[in-house]
Amino acid sequence: MTPAADLIKWSDWLPLNQSWANPLVPQLPGLYRIRREGRDDLDYIGQTSTLLRQRLGALRGVYGEEMPYRAPHTAGPALWALRSVSVSGFEVSVAPDEGQGRWRKGQEALAISLYRQERNGSPTVEFGRMPAGFRMSSGSNAQLVRADKRFRGGTMVEADASHLPSLKPAGPFIGHPQSTTWCGHHWSEWIPLVEAFGGKSADGEGLYRLRGEESGRLLYIGQGIVRQRLAAHLAKRLDPKHDQCPLLAAAPRLDCSWVLNGTWFRHQRLELETDLIAAHVLALREIPAMQWLG
């Protein structure tokens, strides 16, 4: 039995269309997953702090004539594109969860990453990926409208980063979250956060982690331009208005460690970051203390 069996309880599959009016979908927050009928691979996994029916209702545009915007649902354009080339309808399964929102995001990471371990890749349109041959719509807000930058996507001939494949996990979710080989990566040695800005050791894009003690849990897992991201955390330690400030200021020490890889695209770094958060949940049954905090 998977170690997550006691953490996520999925419902039976239901048609996605009109699921927002289906009494079998509880009027509760929670997780949801989407697939095409007759298939056992997944297209998307998400979570919502609002009611599940309300969140699924944000996907009504998937059944419209034009590709929807990325709002009210970021996966709407990609699911619309899949539907336009598939004879199958979509199905949805839900896992109600009334718990604290940050923990629910940790469960979403866990659901995505357990799937990644099983399939060696992410759900089809997770992390902003699009089916080949389609361009994603823009978001939809007043600022985009005023700037005349709102647009609907559609078919396209050329390829872009959204068409690139999912990256398989770097390794199994084993080891302690502070080890130098955690999850199959080759992590740098831990150094004090204030020393990460000397030389060029943290120059480049990749993954990073923060700790506040040597033998315990992590404070944060992140991705991006590592030096810039570490500098941002250091600045938050001095900003009493930021939600991370009390945890950063109270830590007996602040150390950092990273993995650099300039060949990873942004969606691939997000995949690997999600794997790390999921591995932390599996190992310690909690998310890093500052994750999704401010």
Query: Is 63:20 a contact under the CB 8 Å cutoff?
Result: no
At 42 the pLDDT is 98
At 99 the pLDDT is 82
Residues in the chain with pLDDT values less than 50: 1-3
Q: Where are the domains of the chain?
A: 14-163, 182-284
At 132 the pLDDT is 95
At 14 the pLDDT is 98
pTM, 2 dp: 0.94
Burial of 241: CB neighbours in 10 Å, binned 0-12, 13-18, 19+: exposed
- Does the domain formed by 182-284 have CATH 3.40.1440.10? yes
- Among 242, 233, 185, 176, residue whose Cα is nearest residue 210: 233
At 4 the pLDDT is 52
- Residue type at position 29: P
At 2 the pLDDT is 43
Name the CATH code of domain 14-163 (choices 3.40.50.1110, 3.40.1440.10, 3.40.50.2300, 3.40.50.970): 3.40.1440.10
At 199 the pLDDT is 66
- Among 96, 95, 107, 66, residue whose Cα is nearest residue 83: 66
